[in-house]
Structure 1
Amino acid sequence: MARITSRTSVVTESAARFLDEIDELLGQPLATDSRFIDLLEATPDPHAAALGLLRVLEAAGESAPQFLDAIRSGTAEDLAEDEIDRALLRRVLAVMGTSEAMVDHLVRHPESLPQLVERSPFLMISTPAASAASLRNDLLASVGADPDDPAPTADHLGEEAIKDLRRTYRDAQLRLVADDLVAEAPEEIVDHVMAVLSDLAAAAMDAALAIARAELDPEGTVRIAVIALGKTGARELNYVSDVDVVFVLDSSTSDEQRDLATEVAQRMRGILSDAGAEPALWEVDTALRPEGKAGALVRTMSEFTRYYADIAKNWEFQALLKARPVAGDVGVGEEFVETLLPLVWEAASRQGFIDGIRSMRRRVVDLIPAAEAPRQIKLGRGGLRDVEFSAQLLQLVHGRTDEEIRTPNTLVALEELSEHGYIGKEDAFVFSAAYRFMRVVEHRVQIPRMLRNALIPDDDEKLRILSRSVFTSGSRSGPRLEETRKDYAKQVTRLHDQIFYRPILDAAVGVHGAVVDAHNRGSSMQAAADRLQAFGYRDPQGALSHIKALTSGMSRTALVIKQVLPALLDWFSNGVSPDAALLAFRRLTDSLSSSGWFLKMLRDSGLAAKSVADVLSLSGYASELLLRQPAAVAWLDNYDNLTSRDPKALEAEVGGLLKRHAASAITPIRETYSRELLRIALRDVLDVGDRAKVPGDLSALMDLAVSGALQAVRMDLDQPETPLYEFAIIAMGRWGGNEIGYFSDADVTFVYRSVGEELRAEDKAKLSKHVTKLALGLGSRLKASDAAQGIDLDADLRPEGKNGPLVRALSSYRAYYAKWSQPWEAQALLRARPVAGDSGLIEDFTELIDPLRYPVEMPTKALTQVRTLKARMEDERLPRNADKRRHLKLGRGSLSDVEWTVQLLQLQHAHQIPGLRTTSTLAALSVAAEEGLIPADDAEELAAAWQLATDVRSAVMLYRGRTAQSLPEEHFELEATARLLGYPAGGGHELEDDYLRTTRHARNIMEEHFYGF
């Protein structure tokens, strides 16, 4: 301890004891020599370095002093006066102070220590030993296989062969780690490190195959090749990762040979991945094979060809981009690549190919646990995967016609894309620098324990140690690492969001060199159009014209739009209708271009800009409403603006409009209705709030608008000479049930009565004519005829339908129901809900209809009539060629099935059970379950089917602005519907499966409870 100076403040007391023990083992005061201490202090973790070296020297036993001989470079007897090979000692301490896994390896195999103390500037990097051929020779030699044999076969088997393979692998890994940790600029050699790791993995697979062959197929009858995918295929493997592979056989393989090949592949995988006396290397992952884990482990070349020609999904072609033969039969491996790689570029031309791949990437990001996302080096925003993904997408878009950018390696791809003009040189440099730095960080995270990990530690001390292993000069603190990493992530995120679209803007306005390579392979406009089409724009030339119109010139509007449009174009393409979104955005901008607040909001509010893009790309209905009221886009800067307005405040607003405008108030009332309808639609599209409340919100808004409109029309039409009367509007159907959607007409009946003395016949006729004019005037003035959204009143559910009078007196209703009422009319009255008019009349009308809709008992004849009518409706009203499984209203298990089941229960039991006296389907169903009229599980199934059918109808209306009769079959409509219902991108088929399953269950329940089957 005498030689440790005051400079050794980082050497802990326990570390100092380790150093004394090292000196004791060596018989010389090496570890307490100030030169040793200086190097020790520079390691990431001096305590770990001291302990690691002690453990290794203890394991070396009697040969420990040879370590001392290796690091001495002079001839003096006294170590204090002798020269020390500082570079060599620095290498040793770097390994000991960074990688406990490598220390463990040396403790298990102290005979490997001499490899670490060879007098050479590099042990692996830039040496012949780093070549793929040399690594293969070494690994095959470790199991006694001849590298020159077309089918190398090991000469020793079992556990000993596996131990030899794994130890040789780790010896090579040890030498690579040593070079990596002492590199002055590790980011400059990280590409070489990844290549060596990839080639080392390939060599290990060849050696494992040699063992499996010796044990199972010593004659070499099976021609099997191992194809690496992912990072191994791209030669950018990290220290610890699953190695993705597929196994391919010669097409002439017999069934017996196939079974043998399966055993060989399974054995090869176990040799590398199973636990043993020598720890496993890594997991051999075969999940990327055709049909995944459910598919055959091995396939012939002809089977692979058929699969990729007829069955493979888009992402499977993307995976092929990095395919590389790494082990086994060379001819079979080369045939695989030569046959299947061209299919990648054919598939990349498919409609929706790029969009599907981007959707998968978004899902991966969405699945990252929130607590991990900020610390993710690989998968998080601005991480390694974003760099890889950016390069791959540009390759997939432009590699279809440009073979020179077809390379599996990310860093090489960035160079080629830059060289050929598909990405700016500065952008390529940023991507490359960020990728190199983050790869170094990822490696340093993995090296300590050689475990799969891509998370920055959240412990300050661990972060400090990590930072000291990343940086070799300057500040080596944790904050520097985090600041550097976050800065790179920010730059990558910015580029990732803009890199595909910024050149398109340049091309649209004629900037020289935009999206065109240095050799002028094609016009920049065509390249820009190709890029837009690949990203989901179905009319790329039209999109380019919109982009040009938005960004041309030097006006403030154009300058701001140039800043935000790349991100908007990306968000549009993430939706379902990017072309429609871009057109709508152009129209919106034209309306608001003179509004400084709009441009400022687009530039400064990420929430508002993203929300505008989401609305315009997902909902034609909401987009059209927004274009009629463009100032409402300001709401999107704060989602609090989208919350439901207080009903009393809205009533007061309508009341104020009536006071100010009297008979002319109907126009501002419709404007209020349109404004609040837009608010509800925006809330729905952006998934702000509870979607199940939307029908109630829409119904309440319609109640308010119709009630206010009725008052305005009466102010206009009622004259002093008009006989006194009361008038009421009764909502029917879905409006009566507070269950309307964006698609719903307003089903109504009108009722009136005279007030005061009995009228003479001519006055009765005059009043009848007047109230009919009132009803007609109300309907016409509520219809859409200007920018405000209209309401279509539909009185077809009135007694006698279209053949009956539009408006009936209360006495006429009483006479009609007493003489002519049919069971279906009583059923229709279950949804009757007064919404506007005079309270006294409303009370009397309700008193009139309650005995009809809530009868003391339901005669068998009436029950038969209801069931017969339902059966006829299913046969006659369902449109010809409509799919009964998909029709949202009349289909099997859809709205009609659920509603008629519930209404039958109401007709049978509402007289005895007051809770059933509700116009709401779900409320009545809930009470029926509580009262034991239907099992709770059945009620839950019916409610789920009804809610899903309701949601689908609204979602389709939101998307296309037109009503939907059936669950969409067209891809884009189904996808949009799913997105609007909260399914992830690509969730259309999941929605379809959910709908068909849910309604099938509901139909079975309906048949039991309605028809009594």
Structure 2
Amino acid sequence: MSLPSLVALPKSLLPLVSRAKELFLSAARDVSPQAADDFAAWPAERCAAFERVCAASDFVTEQVSRDPQMLLQLAEAGLLERPLRTGEMHTALNALLADCADEASLATLLRRFRNRQQVRIIWRDLTRQADLAETCADLSDLADTCIDLAYRWLYARHCEQFGVPTGRRSGRQQQMVVLGMGKLGAHELNLSSDIDLIFGYPEGGETTGARRSLDNQEFFVRLGQRLIKALDAPTVDGFVFRVDMRLRPYGSSGALVMSFSALEQYYQDQGRDWERYAMIKARVVGGDQQAGRELLDILRPFVYRRYLDFSAIDALRGMKQLIQQEVRRKGVAANIKLGSGGIREVEFIAQAFQLIHGGRDLSLQQRPLLKVLTTLAGQGYMPAAAVDELREGYEFLRYTEHALQAIDDRQTQMLPDSGIDRDRVAFMLGFETWDAFHERLLYWRSRIDWHFRQVIADPDEDELDEGEELVGGEWLPLWEQDWDEEYASRQLADAGFHDGHAACQRLAALRSAQQVRTMQRLGRERLDAFIPRLLAQVVEHDNPDLVLERVLPLVEAVARRSAYLVLLTENPGALQRLLELCAGSPWIAEQIARFPLLLDELLNAGRLYRPPQAPELAAELRERLARIPEDDLEQQMEALRNFKLAHRLRVAASELAGTLPLMKVSDYLTWLAEAILSEVLALAWHHTVARHGRPRRADGELCDPAFIVVGYGKVGGIEMSHGSDLDLVFIHDGDSNAETDGAKPIDGAQFFTRLGQRIIHLLTTQTTSGQLYEVDMRLRPSGASGLLVGSLSAFERYQSEEAWTWEHQALVRARVLVGCPQLAQDFERVRASVLGRERDLERLRSEVSEMRAKMRDNLGTRVTQAGMADRAFEPEGEFNLKQDAGGIVDIEFMVQYAALAWSHQHPQLLRYTDNIRILDGLEQAGLMTGDEVRLLQDAYKAYRGAAHRQSLQKLPEVVSGDQFHDERRAVMRMWRELGLS
């Protein structure tokens, strides 16, 4: 939202202004006549600001009356009208503490510094010179500065008294780590917030350098107590911050400070859901920053699970219910933080998505709530309009919270009862009256509550009409009670199953499966809640038997990771899409059962059925990998595989739904491979260069990278299908003999060979998420016996002098996928030169025909052209879409023959590598008629469409002989007309 408006002072607040001026001037005169004169000389704008601030805040009135010089100094330094520079607050307090002699002086200096900054921050907030972000950042920086500098001052004195704490294992000096939780951790502190802290230290040991050594834990417990006292204890100057340590392990009964290993053990063994929720915002606010980062890395797996964790919704729902019970018990519905539609509900919405998806989507692993909301919209987790409403409502509530706390520096979120304070709040929020403000507040709370219910509310929570049952309620007895097979079979048959007995047996097998029998209580409860919902949706399908058969393996596979069951229970739309995909394709059903993380893709129908274009695809993958540390190869490999699995599912789902035509399916699958190859090459290059340095070109320049990946076959021809492997050739343009410039130098030939090996390793290694692609390198010069990576000059020499005709046929479909742009241009020149030379057509026809005959004999259904009339066109016969006469390979060979035969006269035939556009080129060159080209293109698309459908059904590329008669005969006729045999 925009900043609240500045409205005129209401009459009810004018006496407060008069009183504030009188108190301030009296105090100023007591300091010196000059102080009063300085105030009188203020410009009108600053005087008006003084009136606004003092009318609204008794705290400011009290502080400037106690210390008028403080306000005058702030004004003279311009600090009331400008934001602080980065580090300015830290520098100011550090200078104050330089000559601090004892803890009493430390307490005084900290409190006076805090009060001065608090006055400045409230002044800028209420005069609308600072927005919400600046106010929260300044308050958080104030806390960070006070915590860290007070800790450092105390630590030095503590070491003088008790010795230096030293690690037993490492022998290194130990420092404490102060974690800020909640709003402090997220840099969102409010005007009168307490601070939630957790203390830790790296490792056990004892102090050295003192007469009597202390155990490290005892040292840090005493230090922590001193730090809390320095910040929290009330004195004549007030307090710095109220400190709350109840978020530490075991709460108030737990040790004040724990070692990292003890913290890790606690959260691993006993950490509860609310502690995961709290730890999202944890940030190092004092002490050893480096050790603090290590601690947060240790605890990250506790907070962010690697799988989709929809169980988090249940936990947050339970927390919210407890809060609501407390609100009702204490009668504090007017609490704008905890009440319905309050600040906490917005936080719960954001953190629900963080806990569910944050383990896999690293963009959600951030602390500030508004940034998380922006990510939710940007990544498609929530509609942008919903996020905009949540953002505006949240900001309105936070401005209201600051107004409530600015009045008297009290930690409150309760709306006031008194007329004066109500007038103050309305005035600070830019409203003429309390009623106008309150109406707007109720609007935002109702909108937030509505969005909260969409995300967090229990799907069974809504009131049911009289006599109405829960979703799937009719299936509860069948699943939960003692198994009556006859009754269960009859109920399943009556509901629409064609074979109720078989369906009954499948459910019985699931109940008795090892995975289910060994489930813990919570998991079993989730399964029992899910199965009735599943059956209720399954019976809505035309073939419920098939759907149940295909989906139950997934249920069994995720039984021990029951958060996936919660996902489907919480999201009926996702369950519906799952069943539709399983009904349409056993291949998809198998993929989801093998890789349940794919269930995440079912949550957003718009995203599922609309795969991104090539640039967005590449950008999304780059962004994912950019969030992973450079040295974490395992996580990078998992991210690549998860990305491929997700986008391959989206393409298959779109093809099944009919939203993506055949040619686009191949385009997307090819773009996916190219995006992955680009990142794999970057990772392999980074790793190899880190070990050996960069290789050199022949002219001595460093390579960057002077390397290309050439794609052949389906990837080269932009015709990939769901299970396609990658036919690749690696080419470099470095000096094979020159050494690299690293600490472990090797010659260029070795470098590029290791680079190629690294690429293959990244692509083919099996992880928990499978492998990226099968890789076939046999099309490189000299095949399997040749060098893994060769130079461009060697490639050109081989293709010009030694390559067989079939290798030139393969080169027709070759193109550079990723790598050095200049080398890619050079490769295209070589390819055009090799393919564009004039050939003996008779010899070419003979060699192409011989190769095709060998393939047909070895790979086809062994029906010769001469015997076609016998069985090949009959229902009992079979037609191999790819290898049989008149099929896909015949069309590919004709296209390749044409390109080799005529490209010396028509070089435009070499412009593209895909069959469809080469055929267009043949028509444009007048080498084929439009009818002939259309005939071949239509047959080619029909065959490939059928092959894709077979693939999604987990069937071979073979159909019955009574299909595609016209296409096959036409292709065979054109084969003969080209003189091929």
The bucket for the TM-score relative to the shorter chain is: 0.3 to 0.5
Pick the structure with greater CA Rg. 1
| Superposition TM-score, scaled by structure 2 size | 0.44
TM-score (norm 1): 0.43
Compare relative contact order (CA 8 Å, sep 6+) and give the higher one, 1 or 2: 2
